[in-house]
Amino acid sequence: MRIFVTGASGWIGSAVVPELIDAGHRVVGLARSDASAAALTAAGADVVRGTVDDLDVLRDAAAASDGVIHLAFKHDIAFSGDFQGAAEADRRAVDVFGETLAGSDRPFVLASGLAGLAPGRVATERDTAGFDGSPVSIRATTAQEVLAFASRGIRSSVVRLSPTCHGEGDNGFMAMLVATARTKGLSGYTGDGANRWPAVHRLDAAHLFRLAVEHAPAGSVLHGVAEEGVAMRDIAEAIGRHFDVPVASVAPEAAPEHFGWMAGFVGLDLPASSTLTRELLDWKPAHPGLLEDLDKGHYAHAGA
């Protein structure tokens, strides 16, 4: 298959591209910079220059493909205060893909998230996030739109990714927690630290995206979850152990000063199951877990 991939040179995309190529697919990656284009070419992919705002570029690339994997999201503006702007840009891109692929029975796979699905219990693929007008729920409604593409002749699926897709070179949430611990001299958690985050290794996530574009039935919800829930206190202790800093609970009123913009995330309890995903696609995560990755020193670059 000729598969168009947005976000192809990003953290997940740079693992998805070789996963697809090694399976015999031809990959066309969206690149917004010379460096991204060079990385994609070196990986064996074809390159289309542009960004998720270049809707005509997205339309033409999708029309020329046998399937689309949409990984791109404006994380740079999302986590600097304009999550709504990032979510709205994502929605415009998804609308274009829906218009272009309608009636083709070609696959369209969207990367989404797990936050807000089932507060207080383990979320499953059957759970649906509610809409409360928040920027995060705007992204959730985009995922619902993609699932509805199934009624328009598109083999659509949504991969809800764990909040931490870890591995060597990760610059996401785990790297930020490590950097905070090293800068503040304290590896912190909130409350008793029993709240849990699901986790998945980026290479296992990449494998799931390949299985989705190849085999996922129309309207499928998939969970990129290898570990159902890793307690935040265990994460903090692994960071403290490896970087030789004390570990302690951070009082709620001190969390914004200690964690910065991550203060609203570190206390969330987000356990999630991937049982249905594993059964549907025979997905079998095989790479190291989050705590093992932390202990291996893969985050030594963070905060150094």
pLDDT tens digits, one per residue of 20-51:
999 999 999 999 999 999 999 999 999 999 99
Kind and range of the H or E element at 99? Answer: helix 83-101
The residues near 264 (Cβ < 8 Å, ≥ 6 apart) are none
The pLDDT assigned to 132 comes to 66
* CA neighbor of 13 nearest in space, from 287, 174, 206: 206
The pLDDT assigned to 303 comes to 64
Strand extents, DSSP E, the chain: 2-6, 26-31, 46-49, 67-70, 107-113, 155-161, 164-166, 187-190, 196-201, 220-224, 227-231, 247-250
Contact (CB, 8 A) for 72 and 6: yes
How large is the angle between the packed helices 232-243 and 173-184, nearest 10 degrees? 50
The pLDDT assigned to 93 comes to 96
Residues 74, 78, 83, 84, CA torsion sign: negative
φ, ψ of residue 298 in degrees (nearest 5): -70, -5
Structure tokens at 97: 């893909």
The parts of the chain modelled with pLDDT lower than 50 are none
- CA 110 – CA 209 distance, rounded (Å): 9
- CA 25 – CA 201 distance, rounded (Å): 22
Contact (CB, 8 A) for 240 and 181: yes
The pLDDT assigned to 117 comes to 81
